[in-house]
Structure 1
Amino acid sequence: MKKLYIETMGCAMNNRDSEHLIAELQNKEGYTLTQDAKEADLILINTCSVREKPERKLFSEIGQFNAIKKPQAKIGVCGCTASHLGEEIIKKAPSVSFVLGARNISKITQVIHQDKAVEVDTSFDDSTYAFSKNSNPDIKALLNISIGCDKKCTYCIVPHTRGKEISIPTTMLLDEAQKLAQKGVKELLLLGQNVNHYGIRFSNPHKPTNFTQLLRELSSIEGIERIRFTSPHPLHMDDEFLEEFARNPKICKSIHIPLQSGSTKVLREMKRGYTKEWYLNRIEKLKSLVPHVGISTDIIVAFPTETEADFQETMEVLNIVQFDTLYSFIYSPRPHTEAQKLHNPISKEEASKRLATLQSRHKEILAQKSKEEIGKIHSVLIENYRDEAPQVWSEGRSDTNRLIKIPNHVLPLGSIVPVRVAHNDGGSLIGEMLPQ
């Protein structure tokens, strides 16, 4: 049988795209997955271009795969870097057989039969395409609810690589979620560049709807016990959405709310559409409704116009919100973005200093938060276990997204159990089972 090897870089959206690629090739072309690139007949690299480093890594990866692959094996480059470099990839790396952009993954079964094909049309619309399904889903599943992005953030290349935002029809989403539930999926992770902008545009006539309504409808599906989503945009976090988040028992009480900067001036220059005050207002409203909510965020340090005072405003927001998870990066200039044209970039030394300051303070916050978890009770969805004496344990995540290990118990995958946090072992939370 033909064998497929796939390497996925970047975000959850790329992971979902890879799932689509795998299912299409398995069901329509007879491929089976392999973890060894040397035995593959087709090698796919699903790329990320949000930052410069993964993009630079691409050509190194192509060279390494070309050196070890079977003589007739094909190499395909997919994803966001494919979208904006296009045929330049094949010019720089002739060993690549085809290039497939992030907005064109439904064409995978076509391009594998076309030598040197380049499909990178960001206006292509596959929002109503019925992708092949994974025959054996896990207890957790990814579900795209939209493609593309309409925002104009000055640092971000995504609108250039994924095109305009289009929502996937509600009926398709409900049908897929229903089928996933029937196969044993307990938790859905809804994906979109701005999930709470859902419903703004459809390819075909569609009843008016929004993200809050979609959450209600997905929650009505029997068997789906938990719903998560990433990422909502702070600008669209209205009271209706926050109140549904708080009162709906199936919506996990953890949320990713990208900040990017704590300075209103920098946010304006980033074209984020909200202010520091609006962001903090939404956090205050959210915590008033769900005091135990887990909040994660993204922060970019050393944006070209960021002053020391601007950075201190970011530190202020960090101290006020006390984020549970922080994804933080030094600004990376990207092609096709307005910010690339800005002058007087901040020195690498200063950028690294600011990032280290931010991350150091966040580690202190996490250490305190871990101590405060002792004695708290969580409902934990069991995702993994080990039954090899003397290592016998189960682990899973609370609805606030905390990973908790339960020693001396082997619990069924997909079960949801009450657990009290007993202690903190080097940052890992250790829990004890409670009677059900």
Structure 2
Amino acid sequence: MLDLATKTHNEERQGEAYAPFANDVNEYKKRFYIESYGCQMNFSDSEIVASILNNEGFGATRNFEEADLVLLNTCSIREKAEQTVRKRLTEFRKVKEARPGMLVGVLGCMAERLKAKLLEEEKLVDLVVGPDAYRTLPLLIEEAETGQKAVNVLLSREETYADISPIRLDSNGVTAFVSIMRGCNNMCSFCVVPFTRGRERSRDAHSIIAEAEDLFSRGFKEVTLLGQNVDSYYWIDEANDETVTFAKLLEKVALVSPDLRVRFSTSHPKDITEEVLTTMAKYENICKYIHLPVQSGNTRVLQLMNRTYTREWYMAKVDQIRRILPDCGISSDMIAGFCSETEEEHKDTLSIMEHSQYDFSYMFFYSERPGTLAARRYADDIPEDVKKRRLQEIVELQNKLSLDSNQRDIGKTFKVLIEGESKRSETDWKGRNSQNKMIVFPKTEGSDLKKGDYVWVKVTECTQATLLGYTL
């Protein structure tokens, strides 16, 4: 689908690999190492996998060279991500040659599409496990330990992992992901998610509330509700004769405690309702931030993408958000150079960015993903140099919009949740405001502030990606 990802938001984890750890790996029979690539859902899934492995006597390690089991939780949404995973698997294979007992596995979205190549042709892995088959990992590991290739990429219409308590990997102890649904019913022509993650199914609302309550009781101060399209969350509570929509779920989580912040991602523009917006306005602890992917600013291209809205409709939705939530932060996704896109249609994307005044965006140029509707229906006919030039124009405009947005915040005061020390200086704190902007501010001598505290910060300066200020 996409390539050459560019982002302007500071300190995001998306697209990066990370390794979990155990406090004392010696207490476990075996060690596992996991890296995640792609979206927040993949990071959340890795926490489910860690819980399953932990129950089987595996402890996590940061060093893959000492692991008995090495796992890559993969992403198929961009060609670049797949290339990164292949390179990483090649590195693991070299270590495995010196440690024959080591098992290497691929999880997630690349599993179904590339299982044959990874297992047989390239012999890079010992097991391949799809997003709905993580419960079978213990059996698959046993099978792989006998020398057999172990595979389970079956998709499910029911699996939500609602009863599994995730192990928070590399957690800051302040913020956590909570998965509320799996799969996607939107057949965007550029996207592989419906084929790799299956159809939508919503998680039991009671289990979501219980997880949020547990996190808050353990000191977490912020949860992000995750789904490929959270606004289509729908669950029927038969015991109480209640239909739980996303707006109602948001309210239920917000009521866990006024000191627990609630975020969510991602919204499909066609599904975010006025009820969601008014619920956000009603509760101070529901963050005033919406990720609202536009993909293109041109109606014809949007129709080719099967986005099911027009340019004018999207702009009206942004206007509605601004009317109900005047201080709401909005971010987006954009694709440059989709099939048959003209220069004028590209300019429509630039103009919708100006209208929407995004605080930051994830920006890519289009690359065809096998198996998608676009790959079957349309010619990938925009030259790569044109795609890259259009992407650069989008990036340059977003950089300007991001700086303008941050400059408008100078002089304002925000409630900030301290997430930890700044990466650049141990004498500074970092944290985000309700609008999802990172704010860095000096530690005050003699102050008893600590990670997980809320503090009011006045903004005095900014960069394109970060606000700078001081505590009041």
- Superposition TM-score, scaled by structure 2 size: 0.87
Equivalent residues of 2:38, 2:74 under 8 A apart: yes
Residue aligning to 1:73: 102
Q: 1:319 pairs with 337, 348, 354, which one?
A: 354
Q: Evaluate the alpha carbon distance shift between residue 425 and residue 331 of structure 1 in structure 2; reply closer, same or farther with a 3 A threshold.
A: closer
Shift, 1:250, TM fit: 1.5
Residue aligning to 2:57: 30
Equivalent residues of 1:24, 1:132 under 8 A apart: no
Shift, 1:222, TM fit: 2.5
Task: Check if 1:407 corresponds to 2:407.
Answer: no
- What RMSD over aligned residues (CA atoms) do the two structures have, in Å? 2.3
Alignment of 1:274-285 (within 5 A): 274-285=309-320
Residue aligning to 1:121: 154
Equivalent residues of 1:304, 1:344 under 8 A apart: yes
Equivalent residues of 2:157, 2:201 under 8 A apart: no
Q: 1:139 pairs with 163, 174, 178, which one?
A: 174
Q: 2:416 pairs with 374, 380, 385, which one?
A: 380
The residue identity in structure 1 corresponding to 2:468 is: I
Moved over 6 A (4+): 200-206
Give SS of 2:133's match.
helix
Q: 1:163 pairs with 188, 198, 204, which one?
A: 198
- CA deviation string 1:304-334 (max 9, x = no partner): 0211111111111011111001101001211
Shift, 1:122, TM fit: 1.6
Task: Check if 1:87 corresponds to 2:121.
Answer: no
Alignment of 1:193-212 (within 5 A): 193-199=228-234, 207-212=242-247
- C-alpha separation in 2, matches of 1:344 and 1:41: 42
Q: 2:209 pairs with 148, 151, 174, which one?
A: 174
Q: 1:7 pairs with 35, 49, 60, which one?
A: 35
Equivalent residues of 2:237, 2:244 under 8 A apart: no
The residue identity in structure 2 corresponding to 1:34 is: T
Equivalent residues of 1:195, 1:231 under 8 A apart: yes
Equivalent residues of 2:216, 2:260 under 8 A apart: no
Residue aligning to 1:111: 140
Residue aligning to 2:402: 366
Task: Check if 1:20 corresponds to 2:53.
Answer: no
Unpaired runs of 5+ in structure 1? none
Shift, 1:344, TM fit: 5.3
Q: Evaluate the alpha carbon distance shift between residue 329 and residue 169 of structure 1 in structure 2; reply closer, same or farther with a 3 A threshold.
A: same
- C-alpha separation in 1, matches of 2:133 and 2:259: 30
The residue identity in structure 2 corresponding to 1:22 is: A
- C-alpha separation in 2, matches of 1:24 and 1:182: 22
Shift, 1:93, TM fit: 3.2
Unpaired runs of 5+ in structure 2? 1-27
Size of the alignment, in residue pairs? 432
Equivalent residues of 1:405, 1:430 under 8 A apart: yes
Q: 2:186 pairs with 144, 151, 159, which one?
A: 151
- C-alpha separation in 2, matches of 1:122 and 1:204: 28
The residue identity in structure 2 corresponding to 1:51 is: R
- Superposition TM-score, scaled by structure 1 size: 0.94
- CA deviation string 1:44-90 (max 9, x = no partner): 01100011121133222211101124321100110100132233320
Shift, 1:205, TM fit: 11
Give SS of 1:353's match.
helix
- C-alpha separation in 1, matches of 2:259 and 2:456: 18
- Report percent identity of matched pairs: 34
Q: 2:306 pairs with 271, 289, 296, which one?
A: 271
Equivalent residues of 1:41, 1:72 under 8 A apart: yes
Give SS of 2:395's match.
helix
Residue aligning to 2:288: 253
Higher mean C-alpha deviation, range 78-87 or range 415-424: 78-87
Equivalent residues of 2:157, 2:199 under 8 A apart: no
- C-alpha separation in 1, matches of 2:68 and 2:225: 32
Q: Evaluate the alpha carbon distance shift between residue 297 and residue 249 of structure 1 in structure 2; reply closer, same or farther with a 3 A threshold.
A: same
Shift, 1:215, TM fit: 0.6
- CA deviation string 1:112-160 (max 9, x = no partner): 1112111001236322551144279621110110000011110000000
Q: Evaluate the alpha carbon distance shift between residue 105 and residue 207 of structure 1 in structure 2; reply closer, same or farther with a 3 A threshold.
A: farther
Higher mean C-alpha deviation, range 203-212 or range 189-198: 203-212
- C-alpha separation in 1, matches of 2:151 and 2:329: 42
Q: Evaluate the alpha carbon distance shift between residue 203 and residue 125 of structure 1 in structure 2; reply closer, same or farther with a 3 A threshold.
A: farther
Which structure has more relative contact order (CA 8 Å, sep 6+)? It is 2
Q: 2:76 pairs with 23, 41, 49, which one?
A: 49
Task: Check if 1:226 corresponds to 2:255.
Answer: no
Task: Check if 1:332 corresponds to 2:391.
Answer: no
The residue identity in structure 1 corresponding to 2:113 is: H
- C-alpha separation in 1, matches of 2:134 and 2:239: 20
Q: 1:352 pairs with 382, 388, 395, which one?
A: 388
The residue identity in structure 2 corresponding to 1:362 is: Q
